[in-house]
Structure 1
Amino acid sequence: MPTLICDCNRTMPLDPEVLGKALHEDLKLHSTLCRREAGAFQQALRGGGDVVVACTQEQRLFTEIAGQTEGVAWSPVRFVNIRETGGWSRDAARAMPKIAALLADARRPEPEPVSTVTYRSEGRLLVIGPLDAAERIAASVADVLQVTVFSQGGTGSQERRWPVLSGRIGRLAGWLGAFELEWAQDNPIDLDLCTRCNACIQACPEGAIGFDYQVRLDACTGHRACVKVCEAAGAIDFQREPRAENQTFDLVLDLRERPAMDRHALPQGYLHLPPASGPEARMAAVLRLRELVGEFEKPKFFQYKQKLCAHSRNETVGCRACIDVCSAEAVSSDTSRQQIKVNPNLCVGCGACTTVCPTGALTYTYPRPNEQGERWKALLASYAQAGGREPVLLLHSQEAGRAMVEDLGRLARVGKASGVPANVMPLALWHAASTGIELWLSAVAAGARHVAVLTTGEEAPQYLDALRQQMALAEAIVQGLGYEGTHFSLLACSAPEALDAQLQGLVRKPGAVPAQPARFAVTGDKRPTLELALDHLVEHARAVPPVIELPAGSPLGSIHVDKDRCTLCMSCVGACPASALQDNPQLPQLKLIEKNCVQCGLCASTCPEDAITLHPRLLLTPERRQPRVLNETQPYGCVRCGKPFGTLKAIEAMLGKLSGHPMFQGAGLERLKMCGDCRVIDIYSADNEVRISDL
């Protein structure tokens, strides 16, 4: 795979010999690859196969040149940024190992394609807001969209150019191509019948009717002069019962101060443009609306495995981490089916639900965890092979995060910032919240001295809380194992200058890593990957304590059982989704395999005696993988045949509660001490004795 590098008019101190040796390829350094030396690019294309170009600024130009090159039917070109990510930093001369690693990363095979979600829009637009503002927007898009206005006050034009709805909105839900509006037509003026003759406005003595042609009922005192002047059209009727109406739309533009959908991540096709928005925001909204006609696809960002889900058992809710963290309200509870539901049309691909899922029931697919993990491991290996030391991974979003990193590089070029340090490797994610503890720990196990996640203010507050919680957990584990330094950080930056300062601080305090980098294959499942990372970190730790106490919310831990309250009813065993809690068919025992426990809380929610509490921790003794008895008691034998049929404590508790009941006196109370078979026999025998005595 040919790789073309360019020092961008000699502004980067690139060493083609060092880079070529790391990539096992003879590299030639270019200075004007996008201009006078474009022929070298065309020659590489004619050689066939993929081509890597170390430039993203002129990506569009290179794509056009590729399309115009004779003898090239189609050749995929991969672009990688080595300029703003390191070539323009103050220590760019020491950044060759990083640049070699980024170039090697660009040569990796593309991830496997994922399933897609399809939207279809015919351009039916609903504009909600003041009539005059809505009509102005409508005029700018009516040539490509079918506009309907929902009047919320304001002043309309005399000309009826678009359908106008009015009333009280009850519900607005949906997504691009499938919005559903429900409202109550509860105003005395019916806009379908209104001719906008303005007679009612002139006749109303209270001025309760404006040019939106709706009666403000709080100002109306009941003169009904408007009804008289509208007799011919019959549009005004104060006795009309409110009508429930509904209609579907493909797009929604909401011009009100508060949006109908009050959530951080709005659905595709829903745009909120509050009254204070400036001309640029209005123009952007208009241009965006005009683009949303036709058929569109997006990745299906998640995979759900119901059998691993710890959300619900027996209509009892345990874990709801994914529901609480989703800022798009795409995840909901379905306790009747013992699961959650994820609406792929509402999902925006942040991945936060997969990050907080303790079991791996929700898995991110863009890219898949194994693809992401193997990419990081290969990047770290390439960096080390090129002579790099103390690597730091900087994870950022592919839009705002990438833009901030590039802005930092430009500031460094003109001497206003230090730029991305030589050992910091920026990696773009679809969203900053899409990776979590199992991948971060795998990266540290593979040699990453630090994993930093960059946030830029676009993230929902609950995403930041989730990332902080995950990082506190990961840091507690590596610190507990004796790895010195700080290994994880959440960088909250609103400007490149802030990012510059935080990156310079990071490189001065690298965390310790295992002496031997991990070579295990990152799996597509969360818990196995987490266990592999933990095993490697434990194996190479300087000192392994018997247990590491972890913060609340940990997916690792034990449970504590109050033996005085527990009756060994085994409700918790049936509720456990991870087979962590087990019974003993031979004896009344409750056992725990701590390695399997995901701390979902279903056992505690299910326990009728409130005898269970969660204990987040990481047990590091061999007992973590072995069944451990949490509670046991003597079996209770049937007083008739001696066969055990319950626990001593449970039967005694039952006898104590029912001994005063009229139905359980004498023989009735004695039968409670029998197994099911003997109880039936005793009842049958007693019935026969009664019949014989009657004879």
Structure 2
Amino acid sequence: MSQKLICNCNETMPLDSKALGLPIHTSLCRQEVGSFLKALDGDDAVLVACTQEGALFSELAEQSGKPLVAPLRFVNIREYAGWTQEAKQSGPKITALLALADMPQAEPVPVVSYESGGSLLIIGAAEQALPWADKLNTALDVSVLCAKAGDLPLSRTFPIYSGEVSKLEGFLGSFSVDWNLQNPIDPEMCTRCGACVEVCPEQAINASFQIDLDKCKSHRACVTACAGIGAIAFDRIDTKRSGEFDLILDLRSDPKMPMSQTPQGYFAPGPDPFGQALAANELLGMVGEFEKPKYFVYNEKICAHGRNGQVGCSACIDVCSTGAIRSIFKSGQGHVEVNPNLCMGCGACSTVCPSGAMRYNYPSVAHQGKEIKALATVFITETTKQNRTVAPTLLLHTLEAGAQLLDGLGRAAHIQSKQFEGLPSYVLPYGIEHIASTGMEFWLGALSYGFGEVVLLLSGEEDPAYRAALEIQVDVANTVLQAYGFTPRIQMACVSSSKDLSAVSVVMGQLRQRGPLPSLGAPASFGLSIQKRETLEVILEYLQKHAKTPLPDQGSALPKASPLGGLQMNSEACTLCMSCVGSCPEGALLDNPDEPKLSFIEKNCVQCGICVKTCPEEALSLLPRLVNVEQRKQRMVLNETQAFHCISCGKPMGTLKMVNLMLSKLSTHGAFSGSALDRLKMCGDCRVVDMVKKEL
């Protein structure tokens, strides 16, 4: 536990010392700062309920010279609770936020390292790129690739290339650039002596030291003048050039990185001078060694990407906005590979992964589950003390952008209470690294812990693919809830930017006017597992236990993108070849070594569709649905038939249907007549014996 320092910010918040069980300060960051310094002398960690003055308190702690028991921690109760229209009813929320801030921090995760020596390639028109090269060359190792010709400096202070970029990939400290030289003059070799300019009769060469091919009449006097240098060649065959760089400044209006969220070390401000200045300033600080968290954990064993040469699920590849994930097939078995240096930590890959093979780890779902469980438990306990039990709303938001939006809303609601709605007293904000990093198992888990609903606050900076993925997840989650008789409890609140206070104010006003929704049932005691499918199963058991209406015997239909569901079998078309069994990455399809029988366990199916693509008879199709928990766990028979027995020894050697189909197709072939056709009805051993007897 920690020492908690609470301040009512010059009496602008109606905090109840008795209800909170803590002394209330009025000016902790000013006249009462001694109370903070005294707390540093204690044996407990210090938690300050103020984020605005976090920098001041941190500086004071550093100046005190006293070793801290633990790093200072801060929590925002002002904008989230004290500066709202329902500030007087926000005591339970404040207690819950304090409890959340006091919880143990997540275990550290592995880090990904970058190393930048400061080699910078500036790409763009010469008239823009060269001035920036002059400015940055004293601090960085600059090279310039002129995408459009312009006057070149006579001094060779830094390398200057020309051409069109054909490939640009990599990340901070490891960029690879390929380009094609398109002009007869190679600026790498050109000494800018001017001999070619003097001899050109058409004046097709100027201070850019590039030939204007529209003016050139192919006299080749320039080639003769440059013979000692060799920079000019009209018949050059090898025009490909390449280079390795630590940093990229792309000034073109159409940047060539193929992903929507570009990697660290790549700056593309385009032709905007202000944007270029900001990028240049950042570049100066990107020399040295850097670290970032490794956001994900990948378990290849349960990945449903591909089997037997067939691609099943590619959800993570499709949603990744950084191009960090690629498909790998080896010996017919497919998996994905993630470049941790390109990964920016959105977590969308783990959200859309149906099997849980891709798992978000910053922090883990298990850690987040403990936090939201504590948040709900404390809030409900506090409202119960007030003789009212209220199910809170969980407001999920991206840490940086969402916090900026909610902070701004709180200040606006305090100063302009008639124009802006602050957070209702039952809405509990919970910041996560990125809004795309949680999916339906997390949201439904929150409802199981006692939350009445979950609201996803999208602050406008998200990639369109993330928003689309979240919309699909919300649709599936709400359909699951409706199958059990509940109203939809997951919603998305989308605003245009982290400064769009009016839009989020409207959402909060609607929530306050409507009031809290009731919980689904008694809060669950289970914890969220790091294994997605395990978490989903225990949540489905909870929902089934508290369902308002039972599921129909045939189950309830789910959207096409659902990771839950079964299979439809066309038993007339199926030959029980068992190709589907070998292709299933999750063990949902099973054969029987003793008899021709195909079984299925719905709980294991992730609806990847590899079995559907593998089936040579096209006898299988996916069936997105929700059936009761008991039925999901049962081993059910999809198809079975009589076995065909060897006509010689009587040993089973396939299905009657499959052998008859084979015989009907081959019986008209000349090579399979008479005894040869009979051998097809024998097992392998008897076939060899029969052939030997006939030869003797």
Match of 2:132 in 1: 137
Per-residue CA deviation, residues 386-433 of structure 1 (Å, 9 max, x unaligned), is 116231111111121211111111111111311111111111111110
Per-residue CA deviation, residues 240-262 of structure 1 (Å, 9 max, x unaligned), is 33243322111011111111203
Distance 1:257 1:180 in 2: 20
The 8 Å contact of residues 45 and 68 in structure 2, kept in 1 or not, is answered as no
Per-residue CA deviation, residues 31-78 of structure 1 (Å, 9 max, x unaligned), is 211111111111111102311001111111111100111544564110
Match of 1:236 in 2: 232
Displacement, 1:203?
5.2
Match of 1:16 in 2: 17
Distance 2:667 2:198 in 1: 84
> 2:284 aligns to what SS in structure 1?
helix
- Bigger shift: residues 125-134 or 115-124: 125-134
For 1:143-154, what aligned pairs fall within 5 Å after superposition?
A: 143-154=138-149
> 1:520 aligns to what SS in structure 2?
coil
The 8 Å contact of residues 443 and 490 in structure 2, kept in 1 or not, is answered as no
Match of 1:49 in 2: 44
The letter of the residue matching 1:522 is L
The letter of the residue matching 2:234 is F
Per-residue CA deviation, residues 314-358 of structure 1 (Å, 9 max, x unaligned), is 121111111101011111111215211111111000000000000
Distance 1:104 1:621 in 2: 35
The match for 1:513 among 506, 510, 519 is 519
For 1:112-127, what aligned pairs fall within 5 Å after superposition?
A: 112-127=107-122
Displacement, 1:227?
3.1
Match of 2:276 in 1: 282
Match of 1:679 in 2: 687
Displacement, 1:522?
1.2
Distance 1:556 1:376 in 2: 25
Percent of pairs with identical residues: 47
Distance 2:53 2:69 in 1: 19
Displacement, 1:210?
4.7
The 8 Å contact of residues 161 and 186 in structure 2, kept in 1 or not, is answered as no
Displacement, 1:109?
0.3
Distance 2:669 2:10 in 1: 95
> 1:291 aligns to what SS in structure 2?
coil
The 8 Å contact of residues 392 and 428 in structure 2, kept in 1 or not, is answered as yes
Q: Is 2:266 the partner of 1:258?
A: no
Gaps of at least 5 residues in structure 1 are: 21-26, 689-695
> 2:525 aligns to what SS in structure 1?
coil
Q: Is 2:615 the partner of 1:617?
A: no
Q: Is 2:521 the partner of 1:503?
A: no
> 2:404 aligns to what SS in structure 1?
helix
The 8 Å contact of residues 485 and 512 in structure 1, kept in 2 or not, is answered as no
- Bigger shift: residues 38-47 or 86-95: 86-95
Displacement, 1:30?
1.1
> 2:148 aligns to what SS in structure 1?
coil
Match of 1:293 in 2: 287
The letter of the residue matching 1:43 is K
The 8 Å contact of residues 481 and 488 in structure 2, kept in 1 or not, is answered as no
Distance 1:395 1:231, change over 3 A: same
Displacement, 1:267?
0.9
Q: Is 2:364 the partner of 1:361?
A: no
Distance 1:302 1:580 in 2: 26
> 1:452 aligns to what SS in structure 2?
strand
Distance 1:591 1:127, change over 3 A: same
The 8 Å contact of residues 85 and 426 in structure 1, kept in 2 or not, is answered as yes
> 2:155 aligns to what SS in structure 1?
coil
The match for 2:443 among 426, 440, 443 is 440
Displacement, 1:628?
0.9
The 8 Å contact of residues 317 and 335 in structure 1, kept in 2 or not, is answered as no
Distance 1:503 1:206 in 2: 71
Distance 1:262 1:249 in 2: 18
Per-residue CA deviation, residues 555-575 of structure 1 (Å, 9 max, x unaligned), is 000011111211100010111
Displacement, 1:191?
1.5
Alignment coverage as a number of residue pairs: 680
Distance 1:567 1:50, change over 3 A: same
Match of 1:24 in 2: none
Q: Is 2:523 the partner of 1:522?
A: no
Q: Is 2:632 the partner of 1:636?
A: no
Displacement, 1:298?
0.5
Displacement, 1:520?
0.5
Distance 1:555 1:96 in 2: 40
The letter of the residue matching 1:317 is V
The 8 Å contact of residues 270 and 276 in structure 2, kept in 1 or not, is answered as no
Match of 1:693 in 2: none
The 8 Å contact of residues 485 and 511 in structure 1, kept in 2 or not, is answered as no
Distance 1:395 1:220 in 2: 64
Match of 1:35 in 2: 30
Distance 1:307 1:485, change over 3 A: closer
Displacement, 1:621?
5.9
Match of 2:487 in 1: 484
The letter of the residue matching 2:653 is F
Displacement, 1:450?
1.2
TM-score normalised by length of structure 2: 0.94
Distance 2:24 2:644 in 1: 84
Displacement, 1:291?
0.9
Distance 1:203 1:220 in 2: 12
The 8 Å contact of residues 391 and 519 in structure 2, kept in 1 or not, is answered as no
Distance 1:449 1:218 in 2: 71
Match of 2:6 in 1: 5
Distance 1:332 1:137, change over 3 A: same
Distance 2:393 2:204 in 1: 66
Displacement, 1:510?
4.5
Displacement, 1:208?
4.2
Match of 1:396 in 2: 397
CA RMSD in angstroms comes to: 1.8
The match for 1:93 among 88, 96, 99 is 88
Distance 1:407 1:206 in 2: 64
The 8 Å contact of residues 485 and 510 in structure 1, kept in 2 or not, is answered as no
For 1:194-273, what aligned pairs fall within 5 Å after superposition?
A: 194-201=190-197, 204=200, 208-217=204-213, 220-231=216-227, 233-273=229-269
Displacement, 1:201?
4.5
Displacement, 1:197?
4.0
Match of 2:106 in 1: 111
The 8 Å contact of residues 174 and 244 in structure 2, kept in 1 or not, is answered as yes
The 8 Å contact of residues 309 and 359 in structure 1, kept in 2 or not, is answered as yes
Distance 1:466 1:112, change over 3 A: same
The 8 Å contact of residues 168 and 175 in structure 2, kept in 1 or not, is answered as yes
Displacement, 1:289?
0.4
Q: Is 2:155 the partner of 1:159?
A: yes
The 8 Å contact of residues 538 and 544 in structure 1, kept in 2 or not, is answered as yes
